Structures are given as structure tokens and as C-alpha cells.
């Protein structure tokens, strides 16, 4: 953690500089059996490619509004940090009709069609696979993102005091996100090297904080569990032990 960090993207770059090889986001989907582990280096690569897609291919600019219709997922984390890198303002579950861009999973395609701007769809299939057939009117993220550069340079440095995120009726600037993420990490008792297992969704601030921002701000890591309600307590305990979890958010 660097005290001079002003945006979530800065937090990611600090994690990369501190120990790029350590696990940063580990994701489980207990309906598919998927497990994905991303180091700081790997996540930063996904973020760079996604930011490049946003800026260079979709023409997004600082201050543009993006409706994010995605669940708690490792690719959602990449989108949130890519928006921080480009200065795009994210609204979790936002109204596509009022947004400049929309990013959606396969279950909200009909809703996302209300956006008159660019539309991006994610299959959310294991390993980030593409749709078997791309939804009409949408860019398939898995097709578009691999060809983007591995590094990202913004045309304009995002303003830390500009609106960055809206979730559950709460609005945050980029700088406020960093401040609140550090406060949440403190409240969870999370410090550098801590490993937080979260079963919370990304549709509330406590879920976003536990599932991404607080571990990032603390210099820790997150084990993000989706659909974990199908597991019994013994299976959850085994996972916590195997993942060396030190903190929990349910």
C-alpha cells in the first residue's frame, strides 16, 4: 500500500510494484466448479487490455457513464479497475438507457439493449471463454479484449476528485474510494498479507469493498466465492484452510 495512491488503479499499480507474482484475486463459482487465480501481474494485464478496449476501441472518455450489469466475478474486478484507469464512471446495476456504455453478463442482455451507446457482453463461462454465438448488437468481450496491448497509457489522467462509482445509491469519487477502502480494511482487521474470503455480491458497497477494494488497499488478497450457498459448512472450512484465508466477509 502506498499512501500517495489516489485512485483504485493506483492501488493496483502499487500491488504490482510490491509483489507482482503473489495471488491477488482468487475466484470460485460453485455452480460450475470454476477456480481462477490471478496474480497482480495477471490482473494488471487484464485491466490494461480492458482499459485499452474502453479507450481505444469504444472511444470512452473520462466522465462517461458505464452501466455495469455483472455479478461478483474476476472479470468484473478487471472492468472496475479499467474504468478507474480511464476515468469512466461506473454505476453498478445502472440504467442502460441513461448510460453511455453498458457491460453485461448473459442474463441481462435484454435489459442492456436499452443503451444507445456501445454494448459489451461477457459470457461468464469458465476461463473467460467467448459466447458460442455472439449476441446480436453486442461486442463479445472475450473476442475483443485479447488483441489489446498488454500495457495501457491514458490519453488524459483521470481526476481523483471526479465521480468514479455509484453503488446502492452511494456515490464515490476515485479518491473517496481509496479512503473508504482503507477504512473498510481497517474495520475488517485486514492488513498487508491478509487473505480475505468473501461470499458477498458486488451489488452493495460492503460487497465491493470486501470483494476487491479493501484487500487491494490493505496490500492483501481476496478469495471471491460466488454461489457458495451450495456448499456445506465442512466444504467451506476446507476451502478456507486450503486458501489460507485469514479474514471472512459473509
Which sequence spans correspond to the domains of the chain? Answer: 8-249
pLDDT digits (tens, 9 = 90+) for 58-91: 999 999 999 999 999 999 999 999 999 999 999 9
The mean of the pLDDT values for the chain is: 97
Alpha helix (H) ranges present in 36-188? 40-52, 74-86, 109-112, 141-144, 174-188
Confidence band for 3, pLDDT divided at 50, 70 and 90: confident
136: pLDDT strictly greater than 80: yes
Give percent above pLDDT 70 in the chain. Answer: 99
Confidence band for 4, pLDDT divided at 50, 70 and 90: confident
C-alpha–C-alpha distance, residues 86 and 64, integer Å: 10
The predicted pLDDT at position 1 comes to: 56
C-alpha–C-alpha distance, residues 31 and 11, integer Å: 31
C-alpha–C-alpha distance, residues 14 and 33, integer Å: 31
Give the CATH number of domain 8-249: 3.40.50.12780
C-alpha–C-alpha distance, residues 126 and 238, integer Å: 22
DSSP 190: -
The DSSP code sequence of 46-62 is HHHHHHHIIIIIS---T
Q: Could you tell me how many residues make up the chain? A: 250
The predicted pLDDT at position 2 comes to: 66
Amino acid at each position: 500500500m502506498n499512501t500517495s495512491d489516489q485512485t483504485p488503479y493506483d492501488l493496483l499499480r502499487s500491488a504490482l510494484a510490491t509483489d507482482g507474482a503473489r495471488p491477488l484475486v482468487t475466484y470460485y463459482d460453485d455452480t460450475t466448479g470454476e477456480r481462477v487465480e490471478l496474480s497482480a501481474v495477471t490482473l494488471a494485464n487484464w485491466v490494461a487490455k480492458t482499459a485499452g478496449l474502453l479507450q481505444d476501441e469504444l472511444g470512452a472518455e473520462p466522465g462517461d457513464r458505464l452501466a455495469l450489469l455483472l455479478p461478483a466475478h474476476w472479470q468484473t474486478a478487471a472492468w472496475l479497475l479499467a474504468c478507474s484507469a480511464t476515468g469512466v464512471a461506473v454505476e453498478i446495476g445502472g440504467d442502460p438507457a441513461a448510460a453511455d456504455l453498458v457491460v453485461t453478463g448473459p442474463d441481462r442482455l435484454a435489459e442492456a439493449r436499452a443503451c444507445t451507446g456501445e454494448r459489451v457482453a461477457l459470457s461468464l463461462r469458465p476461463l473467460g471463454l467467448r459466447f458460442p454465438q455472439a449476441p446480436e448488437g453486442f461486442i463479445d468481450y472475450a473476442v475483443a479484449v485479447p488483441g489489446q496491448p498488454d500495457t495501457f497509457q491514458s490519453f488524459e489522467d483521470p481526476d481523483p476528485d471526479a465521480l468514479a462509482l455509484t453503488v446502492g445509491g452511494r456515490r464515490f469519487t476515485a479518491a473517496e474510494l481509496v479512503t473508504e477502502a482503507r477504512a473498510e480494511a481497517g474495520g475488517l482487521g485486514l492488513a498487508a498479507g491478509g487473505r480475505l474470503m468473501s461470499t458477498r455480491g458486488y451489488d452493495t458497497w460492503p460487497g465491493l469493498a470486501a470483494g476487491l477494494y479493501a484487500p487491494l488497499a490493505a496490500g492483501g488478497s481476496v478469495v471471491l466465492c460466488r454461489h457458495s450457498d451450495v456448499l456445506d459448512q465442512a466444504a467451506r472450512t476446507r476451502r478456507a484452510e486450503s486458501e489460507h484465508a485469514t479474514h471472512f466477509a459473509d
